[in-house]
A and B are shown apart, each in its own frame.
Chain A
Amino acid sequence: MIIQAILLVIAAGFLLLFIRHWYSVQTRALKRLAFLVFIALMVVAILRPNWVNSLAHKVGVGRGTDLVLYALTVAFVFVSVNTYFRLKTQEARFTELARVIAVRDATTLNAQRLGRPVREAAAMTDVSGPPGLATPLPPLTGGSAGGAAR
């Protein structure tokens, strides 16, 4: 069956994309081209439903509907994988953001509560920062060591 071969090739293609450079510029361009082709095919399928049918027969699929179903499945897998990687990237950025906030706030907070200067990140020039970033907290050690904070 031709359709089996086509679907297997597509599956192999996905696997290859998966393994290497999902994110490269070429891949991105390819993804956009594929999307355009997909739309074009969609328009054709809408205007000439019988073409889909005859194409289906040519590749060994019983009905045009089944062929469309296959195409939909392929598109769905593609979108899923793409979304997965996109979410991963998003998560990485989100984590980095949260981490910078956490470390910056902690630098101020711990300097105050532990009563000794805590090294700040190189990028952060002002320990005091804008008011409200880290809630000022009273020193824990009853003030004796707390004075050294600032």
Chain B
Amino acid sequence: MQTAEAPGSAGTSEFDDVWVVIPVYNEGSVIAEVVAGVLPTFPNVVCVDDGSRDDSADHIFRTAAHLVSHPVNLGQGAALQTGLEYALLQEGAEYFVTFDADGQHRVEDAAELVRAVRDGGADVALGSRFLSGTVHVPWVKRALLKTVAALSPAARRLELTDAHNGLRVLNRAAASQLKITMNGMAHASEIVDYLARSELEVTEVPVTVLYTDYSKAKGQSLINGVNILFDLSLRSRRTP
């Protein structure tokens, strides 16, 4: 049996009060590596296996990350909400990072976001691909994301440049109020919407997204944007 990193190493890190939430769906080939990259900086990681059909759960099981398994596949939004609820139950958890499982986020960026919340006085920090160098964003993707950001009233109110970045940091107040109801991919817009309606202080921090071939292959397609818009338009009409 492979020996996992000592979970007891907690107590030394700058980020003991931080919980990293990683929604996982069929990421067996990369998840162990991603978790191994996160753990040295953030000792508290919870991976939510969203009913993966591959061996993702086994890979997570062999790491020192907490494993929460959805009995059935529910969607990324649902997995995020589960992870946050689990992390909120943990002793000493003050900051909550949402982190993608496909390895497109950098741990340094996550640390930067945590500092922005902890020291910068914000309640929520969102990663943005567009604040600094945008060299790494494929242009089709860039155009799409910019359009979404421009079309979304919530994103405009918050003056966000990137409404669909999976890297976020929330403090306890923000995380406990957040209730993601969009189980699928529309949750990103839902979160921005929630933030815009709340009194929370939101800041954007430049991050670099690593568009590996793997993450590109798994990323959201243009056609899925139609699904997202449909779900969102119906949902926002229902909320009073």
Residues of B within 8 A of A99 (CB): 70, 74, 78, 81-82, 85
Cβ distance A100 to chain B, nearest Cβ, rounded Å: 9
| A-contacting residues, B42-77, CB 8 Å | 48, 61-62, 64, 66-72, 74
A113 interface residue per 8 A CB criterion: yes
Query: How many of chain A's residues touch chain B, expressed as a range?
Result: 20 to 34
B238 interface residue per 8 A CB criterion: yes
Whether B89 pairs with A141 at a CB distance below 8 angstroms is: no
Closest partner residue, chain A, to B68 (CB atom)? A106
Docked Cα-Cα span, A101 to B71, in Å, equals 8
B138 interface residue per 8 A CB criterion: no
Closest partner residue, chain B, to A81 (CB atom)? B234
Interface string of A59-78 (1 = CB under 8 A from B): 00000000000000000000
Whether B91 pairs with A140 at a CB distance below 8 angstroms is: no
Whether A119 pairs with B67 at a CB distance below 8 angstroms is: no
Docked Cα-Cα span, A68 to B138, in Å, equals 53
Residues of A within 8 A of B2 (CB): 140
Cβ distance B22 to chain A, nearest Cβ, rounded Å: 14
Cβ distance B223 to chain A, nearest Cβ, rounded Å: 20
B151 interface residue per 8 A CB criterion: no
Query: How many of chain B's residues touch chain A, expressed as a range?
Result: 20 to 34
- Residues A141 and B6 in contact in the complex (CB < 8 Å), given A91-B183, A106-B86, A119-B90: yes
Docked Cα-Cα span, A20 to B78, in Å, equals 25
Whether A141 pairs with B3 at a CB distance below 8 angstroms is: yes
Whether B237 pairs with A18 at a CB distance below 8 angstroms is: yes
| A-contacting residues, B1-48, CB 8 Å | 1-4, 6-8, 48
- Residues A142 and B3 in contact in the complex (CB < 8 Å), given A22-B238, A99-B78: yes
| B-contacting residues, A65-122, CB 8 Å | 84, 91-92, 95, 98-99, 101-103, 105-107, 109-110, 113-116, 118-121
Whether B69 pairs with A103 at a CB distance below 8 angstroms is: no
With beta carbons under 8 angstroms apart, the residue of B67, B72, B89, B91 that contacts A121 is B89
- Residues A141 and B4 in contact in the complex (CB < 8 Å), given A98-B74, A102-B70, A105-B69: yes
Cβ distance B201 to chain A, nearest Cβ, rounded Å: 27
Residues of B within 8 A of A113 (CB): 61, 67
Interface string of A17-43 (1 = CB under 8 A from B): 011101000000000000000000000
Most chain B CB neighbours (cut-off 10 Å) among A19, A84, A95, A102:
A102
Residues of B within 8 A of A118 (CB): 66, 90
Interface CB pairs A-B, < 8 A, 27: A18-B234, A18-B237, A22-B238, A92-B181, A95-B183, A98-B72, A99-B70, A99-B74, A99-B78, A99-B81, A102-B69, A103-B68, A103-B82, A103-B86, A105-B68, A113-B61, A115-B8, A116-B8, A118-B66, A119-B89, A119-B90, A120-B89, A121-B89, A140-B2, A141-B6, A141-B7, A142-B3
B-contacting residues of A (Cβ < 8 Å)? 18-20, 22, 84, 91-92, 95, 98-99, 101-103, 105-107, 109-110, 113-116, 118-121, 137, 140-142, 145
Instruction: Supply 18 further A-B pairs (C-beta < 8 A) apart from A18-B237, A95-B74, A118-B90.
Output: A19-B237, A20-B240, A102-B48, A102-B69, A102-B71, A103-B85, A105-B69, A106-B69, A110-B67, A113-B61, A114-B64, A119-B90, A121-B89, A140-B62, A140-B64, A142-B1, A142-B3, A145-B8
